[in-house]
Structure 1
Amino acid sequence: MGVKQSRDPAALRLAILVSLALLCVVGFMTFNVQSDWAFILEYRGSRLAAMLLAACAIGISTVLFQTITHSRLLTPALMGFDVLYVLVQTLGMLLLGSELVEWSPSLRFALQVLVMVALALLLFRLLFSGSVRSLHLMILLGMLAGMLFRELSELGGRVLDPSEFGISQGVAQASFSRMNTELLAVAALALVVGCLLLLRWRRSLDVLALGRDIAINLGVAYERMILGVMAVVAILVSVATVLVGPTLFFGLLIANLAYWFTGSQRHRWTLPASVMAGVICLVGGQLVLDHILASTLPLALVIELAGGLLFIALLMRGVRQ
């Protein structure tokens, strides 16, 4: 009986997602190959690496953020955190100017991640500490914050010189079809660092999702853990934004696909499932649009449309974790 109970259905469903993700990866690298493999590995391989890193960063950060906010509707993108990273980069160019341009891209990214973490923690405390706010108010505040950060970034970009403006706009205008592959190595390192930090709380994430009072009663250092997880979220948001730019509904889409497909709330299943869902959407979507249908339709448009429809459906149903 014990053996049968240990076979969680979520494990089988996760295995299906992993298999589908691997098929998408293999198909993306091998379908419609018409040139030498060295070029294919260099061109498609770098794009594939960026998509895999982005899927990992967006999937994990969204599930974690929904855990600490206790809502399946709220995501870092909806609360404006990805646009905040763009603003951090623009402000860095305004304050340091030519000195920052002379830095290596990896060093600039490291500095921006540190500032991003500090500002994200401050914004999180301002939005989620104190009196309990309604879900609709939090969504409104997030949307307004994102609009404010975007307008400030554009305003700051207008006073930059061309070289500084090009660096600033490189992140703001990145997309699923035009990814920033220059920072793959440092983005991968930041992702690994964020995941290593997350390992400290991996056994307490399910308890954290039960709410503040229950978590404290079960011996979890709630406030410290919440800030630690939020710091990891900020690192992962920085990684995703520098690779594919700001995305609004992609995280919401893959996180809820992970919840639905695994039928579980346990992070041992939902975290990897969200990553696999992200890989399927990104890599599989590029495979279908670029190589099978030969379509010029942007993948971002399809994903954001699907995510937007899901957001409206969840908002109307009032789904909460």
Structure 2
Amino acid sequence: MTDNKHVYRNIFIAALMAMVLAGIYMTIGSRGNWSYILLLRGKKLVALTIVSICSTTATILFHTIAQNRILTPSIIGMDTIYIFFQTISLFLFGHNHWLLQNEYTNFFLSTLSMTFFSLLLYWFFFKKFPGRIYLLLMTGLILGTFFRSATSFLQVLIDPNEFLILQNRLFASFNNVDSSLISVSMFIVLPVLIYIFCKNKVVDVLHLGRINAMGLGIDVDRFNLKLFISISMLVSVSTALVGPVMFLGFLGANVSYKLFKTYQHRLLIVGGWFFTISFVLFGQILIEHLFKFQTTLSIILEFVGGSYFLYILLKEKEAA
């Protein structure tokens, strides 16, 4: 049986590390200019926290549904839908159109397009092929490839000057987050997190596998649909807020499994939050004070997360 004292100790250490890094980030190089800190860095800190929480929670839940710790929600093509939406909007209307200029409109339409696509995909398989989660994932992977190809074709036709504007939206950025979108994101994310923690014991049972969960009286397909809705909303909000961050949730989830070693999702998720926040804060500190904004945080996230992904793949191959 899991030693909860050991788990709580590790979570406390992760939380302490996150708070220390948050304090360093908010005060380093400030020279007492607190208005600058609260206005600019405070906004970034909240955005970093929201994205870290959304990415980690969505990935852990997705692993539980798929019974596979290598897959991520991006496999069903949600990030490609975001990129396709931004590209086709710019291609059809130009960067001066209200659809792209109005941050609220762009945020809501991006979120709705990603959520609608994922739910439509899952609803179809929920009705036609219940329980065949890997068929769902394979179809999502194929559709994601299709949208990626269509996006590449449209980007070739876009005016080079407008393509530069598009690139700013396609790379995750915490430096230009609209503070008004942060409150909207929290309004969407908070009810989802409350629902997940209210159902954490059911998610723990789902971790035992489809057959065992059904034997314990859980309507697996219906509950999977509800979890999938939660995952879609979390990933959609995170992506629409700062852009695609493919490997961040994967890194946070898998490190959480290693550090906390428990089947209880409420502990895994909370511990994963603190680790992911710490990692992102450390990366942002490097970007601002070591690299002097010569690179972006998304590059560090994708490099470290992608490297860890390859490490996990090689380790699984050796174990097999």
**What band does the TM-score fall into relative to the shorter chain?**
0.7 to 0.9
Is the deviation greater in 17-26 or in 7-16?
Answer: 7-16
Give the C-alpha shift of residue 190 in structure 1.
1.8
| Matching of residue 202 in structure 1 with residue 200 in structure 2 | yes
Q: Cα–Cα, structure 1 residues 195 and 161, in superposed 2: closer, same or farther, change >3 Å?
A: farther
Which amino acid in structure 2 is aligned with residue 30 of structure 1?
T
- Give CA-to-partner distance per residue, 1:242-268, whole Å, 9 cap, x none: 233112222211111111111112101
Q: Write the distance in 2 (CA, Å) between the matches of 1:181 and 1:156.
A: 31
Is the deviation greater in 19-28 or in 216-225?
Answer: 216-225
- Give CA-to-partner distance per residue, 1:44-95, whole Å, 9 cap, x none: 1111111111111111111111111111100012443222233345556778
**Alpha-carbon contact 2:114-2:236 (below 8 Å) kept:** yes
| Matching of residue 267 in structure 1 with residue 253 in structure 2 | no
Q: Which residue number corresponds to residue 54 of structure 1?
A: 51
Q: Write the distance in 1 (CA, Å) between the matches of 2:231 and 2:276.
A: 16
Q: Cα–Cα, structure 1 residues 219 and 90, in superposed 2: closer, same or farther, change >3 Å?
A: farther
| Matching of residue 119 in structure 1 with residue 126 in structure 2 | no
TM normalised by structure 1 equals 0.82
Q: Which of the residues 6, 14, 17 maps onto 1:9?
A: 6
Is the deviation greater in 191-200 or in 204-213?
Answer: 191-200
Q: Write the distance in 2 (CA, Å) between the matches of 1:105 and 1:178.
A: 11
- Give CA-to-partner distance per residue, 1:84-117, whole Å, 9 cap, x none: 2333455567789998629953344334433322
Percent of aligned pairs sharing the same letter = 28
How many pairs does the alignment contain?
314
Structure 2: tracts of 5 or more residues without a match: none
Q: Which of the residues 71, 77, 81 maps onto 1:80?
A: 77
Structure 1: tracts of 5 or more residues without a match: none
Q: Cα–Cα, structure 1 residues 200 and 88, in superposed 2: closer, same or farther, change >3 Å?
A: farther
Q: Which of the residues 34, 39, 48 maps onto 1:42?
A: 39
Which amino acid in structure 2 is aligned with residue 76 of structure 1?
P
Q: Cα–Cα, structure 1 residues 182 and 145, in superposed 2: closer, same or farther, change >3 Å?
A: farther
TM normalised by structure 2 equals 0.82
Q: Cα–Cα, structure 1 residues 187 and 166, in superposed 2: closer, same or farther, change >3 Å?
A: farther
Q: Which residue number corresponds to residue 190 of structure 1?
A: 188
Q: Which residue number corresponds to residue 68 of structure 1?
A: 65
Which amino acid in structure 2 is aligned with residue 264 of structure 1?
T
**Alpha-carbon contact 1:171-1:243 (below 8 Å) kept:** no
Counting only pairs closer than 5 Å after superposition, residues 226-245 of structure 1 correspond to structure 2 as: 226-245=224-243
Q: Cα–Cα, structure 1 residues 231 and 91, in superposed 2: closer, same or farther, change >3 Å?
A: farther
